[in-house]
Structure 1
């Protein structure tokens, strides 16, 4: 397996438009919310997290938002963090790891 990969899990959003999914995710994960979840993909710039309790949400923790000295978490590791940004144009939730 390659060291880096893209998320392969697809949320079950049958019957919902991307805008509806984003609206629900945005409401469930406000700025400052603490989240936990499993690392489901890795890239050199950060990790993608399947967020607990919000089945349609995948968050991104960029390497610049990780504690100093923390390496890139491995696939399957459970991590925690805080929502620090919402990026409307690509429906992305960004997280700072703790």
Structure 2
């Protein structure tokens, strides 16, 4: 996978209202895992170029595993965190095992 070209914080901030409008809670999404951290994974959400998606391990069912860098995933929007302009995602495989 090529390195992901993150949108700038200013781009993310300016697009936040449009991002929230395009991705209301409950919206089904697809995207690609662009960064993995011990607390969760960040993803590029298809069709919303300045959105930052995050699936954190707090929503991961017991026994599930995090997807790998570059994986294509699907899921649903579960929350918007206004203070850092992130779209919280729960992956479909996590929804199905909840």
- TM-score, scaled relative to structure 1: 0.80
Q: Paired residue for 2:75? A: 81
Q: Paired residue for 1:9? A: 5
Q: Paired residue for 1:24? A: 18
CA RMSD of aligned residues (A): 2.2
Runs of 5+ consecutive residues of structure 2 not aligned to the other structure: 93-98
- TM-score, scaled relative to structure 2: 0.80
C-alpha displacement of 1:8: 4.9
Runs of 5+ consecutive residues of structure 1 not aligned to the other structure: 1-6
Runs of 4+ more than 6 Å apart? none
How many residues are paired up? 90
Q: Which structure shows the higher helix fraction?
A: 2
Q: Paired residue for 2:41? A: 47
Cα deviations by residue, 1:34-68 (Å, 9 ceiling, x for unpaired): 11100000010110010001111120001122344
C-alpha displacement of 1:12: 7.3
- SS state at 1:90 partner: coil
Does the 8 Å contact 1:65/1:97 carry over to 2? no
C-alpha displacement of 1:28: 0.8
- Structure 2: distance between partners of 1:48 and 1:18: 14
